[in-house]
């Protein structure tokens, strides 16, 4: 299957199939997994469409986050570079990049944001990181109720819907725990 994947003519398809095959390998084949992921990463720059490059870099960054942190950071960094050169509307990709970078590391996300050349994009990304930090503070079970309530007080009324969306996505993704309604009533009052 690997030989067939490597023989695919379409670069975007080849990168995607190599990535899927690498992630499907068992743990005892970690060396081959690393080799395939590295090959996929190196071939992304040959994809003719900038939007497809961004999508592949971000997809690979998400998929390897728990497997290879350095590769995940490299993918996010490359995605930021391609985004900065793109003449297309890349607002959605930029938001996805910030979300992925924040999951990798808070400081890494802030460093990625500094690479944005558009002031409006930078401000929007900084607001997104602030909401992600609030989401993390609210969902952190180690924090006491008062700390969580204080974090919620930092949310502007115009940002409540976005925070709600982040919380629902985190809940659906299994990244946060559920709470019984009686436990959150004091926070909502």
DSSP 103: H
How far apart (Å, rounded) are the C-alpha atoms in residues 74 and 122?
20
pLDDT per residue rounded down to tens, the chain (189 residues): 889 989 899 999 999 999 999 999 998 999 999 999 999 999 999 999 999 999 999 999 999 998 899 999 999 999 999 988 887 888 889 889 999 999 898 899 999 998 887 778 888 888 888 888 877 777 776 565 667 667 777 777 777 777 788 778 877 877 766 767 777 677 666
How far apart (Å, rounded) are the C-alpha atoms in residues 43 and 118?
28
**22 with 33: CB under 8 angstroms?**
yes
11 alpha carbon, distance to own chain's centre: 23
Q: Phi and psi of 66, rounded to 5°?
A: -85, -10
Q: Provide the terminal-to-terminal Cα distance of the chain, rounded to the nearest Å.
A: 58
Q: Phi and psi of 78, rounded to 5°?
A: -65, -40
């Amino acid at each position: 299957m690997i030989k067939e994947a490597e023989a695919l003519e379409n670069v975007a398809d080849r990168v995607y199939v190599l990535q899927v095959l690498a992630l499907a390998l068992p743990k005892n084949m970690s060396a081959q997994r690393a080799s395939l992921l590295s090959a996929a990463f190196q071939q992304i720059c040959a994809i003719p469409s900038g939007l497809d490059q961004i999508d592949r870099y971000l997809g690979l960054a998400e998929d390897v986050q728990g497997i290879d942190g350095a590769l995940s950071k490299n993918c996010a960094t490359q995605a930021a570079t391609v985004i900065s050169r793109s003449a297309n509307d890349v607002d959605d990709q930029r938001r996805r990049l910030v979300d992925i970078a924040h999951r990798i590391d808070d400081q890494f996300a802030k460093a990625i944001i500094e690479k944005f050349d558009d002031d409006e994009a930078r401000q929007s990304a900084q607001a997104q990181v602030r909401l992600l930090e609030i989401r993390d503070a609210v969902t952190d079970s180690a924090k006491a109720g008062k700390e969580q309530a204080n974090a919620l007080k930092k949310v502007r009324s115009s940002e409540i819907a976005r925070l709600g969306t982040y919380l629902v996505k985190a809940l659906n993704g299994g990244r946060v725990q559920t709470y019984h309604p009686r436990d959150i009533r004091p926070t909502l009052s």
